[in-house]
């Protein structure tokens, strides 16, 4: 590791011994398939590169074990994939200390040097994209094609922020005093605690970490307990890319240890910044913890996205957008549509065509099976929430147009479901489902649709379809969300700012604005000139 710091013309942090030699092991895969360094039999399942599948924490450039381990399971079958180090408060504190000790040298490196390492990390992700995608499908369950798309999206943040690292500009401000010169500098905030969800186990890390490292910050990542293998695979590639010891640390833990680890990351005075993606309820807890030391915070929290289809819309295009917006990752994304509002003039035609598209274009199955578009939900608790929302809606008069029950493929599989005759009194229109449920409400006027859409206390994404230019401007400006899709069901892109309003969070990720979340502004006044 000392040679890496030397290559930057800097001294290495003290007390960071070299990492141990990589070990090779086998990971049991769904259906008894053995994933390792050789090819494997089985439908749709190839070999995972064993060198990317790690089971320890990654602290200060070393793979570390904990006193206990927790299982990572395949959500499709429930089979145990691996056992990962169950890190606790002690390991979290060690990771924070390692990040802090590495901070001065990393922030002291030139932007060009940091950019080159981020670019190398990006290159390695692209070289290993198929293996990284298989890890996602194994632990998350999403179809392999979606996982491959996530890896390209994930890698793009490293590429983007490698380029943005050299564009952190300050300012020179004309002074009112002749003998003064006024400058504004931008400097890294310090150690950033990164807490990420299971639904995008790779992209949610690089979107935060890419910006943090480009800015000159060091990081400690706590991945979701359901999907730690992707975070650890990224650590392996960061290590190969030459990211210096202590700059990128990963502390995996079980649900039982999550509170202790999260508390360390949010209260340790060495941590200057917290970035969290997850539920609004958890975000509020982390904000309370962060308040004690007044940390910088960015939060990407829950959504409840409306999808409005006006009478002027192209119904076929609206149906295609609805299918993409609702059922990607089996409805388990924070920007998935949660409420469909369709104007009365085209309501029946939309519901009919939407139901036909669901039946003809969506295929439930194991994520490794070719042709699968709908994998399992992450766990049975997620399935139970979908069932609860459907039961509540039907008990109040909603009609099941298609779907409505668990699929015979397995206990975590649920049929893509479409409900009609839905009202605002029903749970599915009041809280985020996070599953393959599409409730459709009928409305009369634009004002009514906006009132329903804006009634939520969250505002992450919103979508609407219209061919009326004046209406498009009115609705886009009046929707109380951070991101609007106009005649478009997918809005995420590396160059665009991602984030919400109301209780959907604080700050923005991605785009040229994302790096500002990891920078402090310093005003410098030169006097006596």
Which residues fall within 8 angstroms of residue 18, CB to CB, at 6 or more apart?
Answer: 1, 61, 62
428 is catalytic: no
Burial class (CB in 10 A: 0-12, 13-18, 19+), 504: buried
Q: Are 12 and 244 within 8 A, CB to CB?
A: yes
Fill in the DSSP letter of residue 49: P
CA–CA distances in Å: residue 381 to residues 49, 436, 437: 31, 14, 15
* Catalytic site residue from 225, 300, 432, 517: 300
List phi, psi (to 5°) of 81. -85, -40
Q: What is the DSSP string of 511-524?
A: TTTGGGGGEEEEEE
Residues 112, 115, 120, 124, Cα dihedral to 10°: -170
* Catalytic site residue from 217, 253, 266, 334: 334
Q: Are 138 and 50 within 8 A, CB to CB?
A: no
Which residues fall within 8 angstroms of residue 242, CB to CB, at 6 or more apart?
Answer: 4, 7, 117, 120
Cα–Cα dist 491/496, whole Å: 9
CA–CA distances in Å: residue 343 to residues 217, 268, 428, 466: 49, 52, 19, 11
- Tell me which residue of 38, 30, 212, 214 sits closest to 138, measured CA to CA: 30
Angle of CA points 416, 418, 423, to nearest 5°: 140
Cα–Cα dist 382/402, whole Å: 20
Q: Which residue has the tokens 């985020």?
A: 432
Cα–Cα dist 198/283, whole Å: 15
488 is catalytic: no
Angle of CA points 231, 206, 247, to nearest 5°: 75
Largest pairwise CA distance in the chain: 79
Burial class (CB in 10 A: 0-12, 13-18, 19+), 58: buried
Which tokens in the block code for residue 214? 């480009």
Which tokens in the block code for residue 331? 């409805």
Q: Are 297 and 273 within 8 A, CB to CB?
A: yes
Cα–Cα dist 155/233, whole Å: 13
- Element holding 2 (H helix, E strand): helix 2-7
Which tokens in the block code for residue 353? 């065509």
Fill in the DSSP letter of residue 504: T
> Strand 458-459 to strand 305-309: parallel, antiparallel, or no bridges (unpaired)?
unpaired
User: Where in the sequence numbering do the catalytic residues fall?
Assistant: 300, 334
């Amino acid at each position: 590791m000392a040679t890496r710091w030397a290559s930057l013309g800097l001294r290495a942090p003290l007390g960071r011994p070299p990492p141990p030699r990589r070990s090779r092991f086998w990971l049991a895969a769904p259906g008894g398939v053995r994933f390792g360094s050789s090819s494997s039999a089985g439908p749709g399942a190839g070999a995972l590169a064993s060198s990317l599948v790690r089971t320890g924490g990654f602290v200060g450039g070393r793979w570390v074990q904990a006193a206990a381990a927790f299982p990572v399971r395949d959500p499709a079958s429930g089979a145990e994939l691996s056992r990962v180090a169950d890190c606790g408060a002690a390991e979290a504190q060690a990771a924070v200390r390692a990040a802090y000790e590495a901070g001065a040298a990393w922030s002291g490196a030139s932007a060009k040097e940091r950019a080159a390492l981020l670019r190398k990390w990006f290159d390695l992700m692209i070289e290993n994209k198929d293996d990284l995608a298989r890890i996602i499908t194994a632990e998350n369950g999403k179809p392999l094609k979606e996982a491959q798309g996530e890896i390209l999206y994930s890698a793009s943040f490293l590429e983007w922020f490698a380029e943005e690292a050299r564009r952190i500009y300050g300012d020179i401000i004309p002074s009112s005093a002749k003998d003064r010169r006024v400058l504004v500098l931008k400097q890294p905030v310090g150690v950033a605690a990164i807490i990420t969800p299971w639904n995008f186990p790779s992209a949610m890390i690089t979107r935060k970490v890419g910006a943090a490292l480009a800015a000159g910050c060091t990081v400690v990542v706590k991945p979701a307990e359901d999907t730690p293998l992707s975070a650890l695979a990224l650590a392996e590639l960061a290590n190969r890319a030459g990211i210096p010891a202590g700059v990128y640390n990963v502390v995996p833990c079980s649900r039982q240890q999550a509170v202790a680890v999260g508390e360390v990351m949010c209260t340790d005075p060495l941590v200057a910044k917290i970035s969290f993606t997850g539920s609004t309820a958890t975000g509020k807890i982390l904000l309370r913890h962060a308040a004690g030391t007044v940390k910088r915070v960015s939060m990407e929290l829950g959504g409840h996205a409306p999808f409005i289809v006006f009478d002027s819309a192209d119904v076929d295009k609206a149906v295609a957008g609805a299918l993409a917006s609702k059922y990607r990752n089996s409805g388990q994304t924070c920007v998935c549509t949660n409420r469909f509002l369709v104007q009365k003039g085209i309501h029946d035609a939309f519901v009919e065509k939407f139901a036909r598209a669901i039946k003809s274009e969506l295929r439930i199955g194991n994520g490794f099976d070719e042709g699968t578009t709908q994998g399992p939900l992450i766990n049975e608790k997620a399935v139970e929430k979908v069932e609860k929302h459907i039961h509540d809606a039907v008990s109040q008069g909603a009609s099941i147009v298609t779907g409505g029950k668990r699929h015979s493929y397995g206990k975590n599989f649920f049929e893509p479901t479409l409900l009609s005759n839905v009202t605002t009194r029903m749970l599915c229109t009041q809280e985020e489902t996070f599953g393959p449920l599409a409730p459709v409400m009928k409305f009369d006027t634009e004002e009514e649709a906006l009132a329903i859409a804006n009634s939520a206390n969250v505002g992450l994404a919103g979508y609407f379809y219209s061919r009326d230019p004046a209406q498009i401007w009115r609705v886009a400006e009046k929707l109380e969300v951070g991101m609007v899709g106009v005649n478009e069901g997918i809005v995420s892109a590396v160059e665009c700012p991602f984030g919400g309003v109301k209780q959907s969070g604080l700050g923005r990720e991605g785009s040229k604005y994302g790096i500002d979340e990891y920078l402090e502004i310093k005003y410098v006044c030169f006097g006596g000139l």
